[in-house]
Amino acid sequence: MFGFLLFVTSIIYGIIQPAHQSTYPRNVTYAAHLMGYNQKFEQPPWPVPGNQFIIPRWIHKDGLAFTNAVHYRHGRLTVSADGLYFVYSHVSFTESSSSRDDNTDSNSLSHYLYRYNIMYPNGGEEMLLMNSFNTCSANNEQAEYSSYLGALFKLRNGDELFVKVSNLTLLVTNSKINTFGYFKIGDST
């Protein structure tokens, strides 16, 4: 039902606003910089495919965080003009040896950048970048692991961007360590 509504909404949106046009003036700067939410996230109790959890919340209009000519909602940035964009995200995980579960394969951590648009195949969700690494099992008290993703992409008006990680509860809660943002650097043609 929700999926259907979303679909209908997309069609209506498509009619009102042709896919390749932006409602913003040509000289606007399309950019956003989001900062890490400063509270621990709860891992959803239900199984999630591939152990990939979307970071559900970012600070988007406080301090250094801003969105300019881009829509932010539920952890997602929606592109509002076709173009060539630089997209980036940095996250850090912190793990103590006592919290590590040695009986599972949870000694690897991953960081993903995704886009969603109903027009793309396989349900519309596409992985753009990923980084994966093993956490070492030395007996250090506390270890911190960082990951940075950043690259250029041709994005479309309506593309939604979001970040996923393999373990939400291990994310540090520092708004300047975890970041997610983008800026338009040119037209896609």
Ligand X SMILES: *[C@@H]1O[C@H](CO)[C@@H](O)[C@H](O)[C@H]1NC(C)=O
Among 21, 23, 38, 43, binds ligand X (CB under 6 A): 43
The CB-of-69 to ligand X minimum distance in angstroms stands at: 11
Taking the C-alpha atoms of residue 44 and residue 58, their distance in angstroms, rounded to an integer, is: 17
H/E element, 8 = helix 2-16
3-state secondary structure 131-145: EEEECCCCCCCEEEE
Q: Where are the beta strands (DSSP E) in 62-141?
A: 66-68, 71-73, 76-78, 83-96, 108-116, 125-134
CA angle 63, 68, 70 (to 5 degrees): 120
Site for ligand X in 98-117 (CB under 6 A): 99-101, 106
CA 116 to chain CA centroid, Å, is: 10
- Considering beta carbons, is residue 9 or 132 the nearer one to ligand X? 132
Under rule CB under 6 A, residue 173 binds ligand X: no
The CB-of-168 to ligand X minimum distance in angstroms stands at: 8
Among 51, 97, 146, 188, binds ligand X (CB under 6 A): 51
Q: Which two tokens stand for residue 8?
A: 């209908």
Residue the block writes with tokens 């590590």: 100
Among 169, 174, 176, 185, binds ligand X (CB under 6 A): 169
The CB-of-51 to ligand X minimum distance in angstroms stands at: 5
Binding site for ligand X (CB under 6 A): 25, 27, 43, 51, 99-101, 106, 167, 169-170
